[in-house]
Amino acid sequence: MSELHYFRVNGLNDETDVSIIVNTLKVIDEVESVEVDLDSGMAFIKSEISAQEISLIIDGAGYNAILIPG
């Protein structure tokens, strides 16, 4: 079952950073959708994988993801 996770992502400076996060997550079959807002630094990810796993993936791409409890 998919869940919507909200993250504050530190280290976003431009659309290239947004694209890196989106493209990194979209290749994962269990990720249904990814939306990253550069202005707010927020990422909205609908996925079947856990928030912890998503956070590790974003961190591995060179950014710092902080889960916002929903």
Asked if 26 and 33 count as a contact pair (C-beta separation under 8 A), the reply is no
First to last CA, the chain: 16
The reported pTM is: 0.92
Indicate the number of domains in the chain: 1
Low-confidence ranges of the chain (pLDDT < 70): none
pLDDT of residue 70: 73
Tokens of 59: 């961190």
pLDDT of residue 1: 87
Domain extent, residue 64, equals 3-68
Q: What is the CATH number of the domain that holds 43?
A: 3.30.70.100
pLDDT of residue 44: 98
Helix (H, G, I), strand (E, B) or coil at 12: coil
